[in-house]
Amino acid sequence: MAEADPLRVLVVDDDPSGLALLTRYLTGAGYEVLTAANGVEAMRVLVTEGAPIVVTDWLMPEMDGLELCRAIRMHEGIPFAFVIIVTACQKADDRLVEAFDAGADDYLCRPYKPKELLARLRAGERIVRLQREVDSRNREVHRYNAEIEIAYRKLAAANEELNRMARTDELTGLINRREALVRLGDCWAYAERRGGPLACIALDLDRFKNTNDTYGHAVGDVVLKETASILRASARRDEPVCRIGGEEFLIIRPRSTEAMAAVAAERLRQAVETNAIQHGNLTLRITISAGVAQRTSDMENPDDLLRAADNALYAAKDAGRNTVRLAGTANRLPSVDDSFDEFDAPVASNNSCRTVPG
């Protein structure tokens, strides 16, 4: 309702003559008047049509003025209404206190002068308009807070996406080189504190440059993504699978010996070798070479472990590719004292670089 529109007043009285007289007077004073014969009827009017000011008699059938006040204050569907209750002056003061406790905002003693009623209504108008301003400001505050909350959630989601992008290789969805070094550092620190084993597997696609040169980089990307999926599916849940270069991958093996990692590497090599990559009418089969290394007492940092795995990988390449080589020099078979999970088994060995047949 615009401020220029006449303010709506609900008059509640079970006396028809008094109701008609008050309606004529308030209408002549510029108010839009609604009427009700009792509290029950008044509640229906307030719910369906609404009125910011209510002038009600105290004593009425079905629902009296006090019950009406309580009902208005308890009803969530009725906005703020300024309630003036009309009573006889001879009523005790404690009854007026009871009226205010019930939710009345003002009262009139009968008989009253019309000017006194208008003065009470003007005071009620000011309170109603102030309440509307407060409600409007509260709505603005809620809207502003909601917008801030939405913006905060969008910012948090954007930051999370940026963090994910900073940790993830865009093509394959694997952990990227930066995050791989962080994970390897964490695993190194854990192994150093607990004294447990730590191994890693360096993998490289064999003759990947020929694939790109022959079929193009789009097919090369398919090969990389397919290989990444196989590695991720074949690795254990606690083994970070990382893409650290063009066709270079790294798998970190926490709590794993070199022998255990060797068996895992052979499992990965076989999974890649037996997989047929379909792209349109093209069917490709690729192989990988792998180098395995375990953290040793003479290594000073994770870079030494990576370097050892890379050297074993180069040895696998030199040995003809599609094979697994180990960086360790111990000329022994893994014993029953070695810790294996349900996927791993002992691997035969020879001299300085051991080979798992592929």
Enumerate the active-site residues.
Answer: 247
Do the Cβ atoms of 124 and 6 come closer than 8 Å?
no
Do the Cβ atoms of 310 and 202 come closer than 8 Å?
yes
List C-alpha distances in Å: 323 to 62, 133, 250, 311, 329: 95, 79, 16, 14, 18
Residue 252 identity: I
**What strands lie across the sheet with 8-12, from one edge to the other?**
32-36, 8-12, 53-57, 82-88, 106-110
Residue 110 identity: R
Residues 6+ apart with CB under 8 A from 206: 286, 287, 288, 289, 317, 321, 322
Structure tokens at 83: 């309630």
Report CA dihedral (311, 313, 318, 322) to the nearest 10 degrees.
Answer: 170
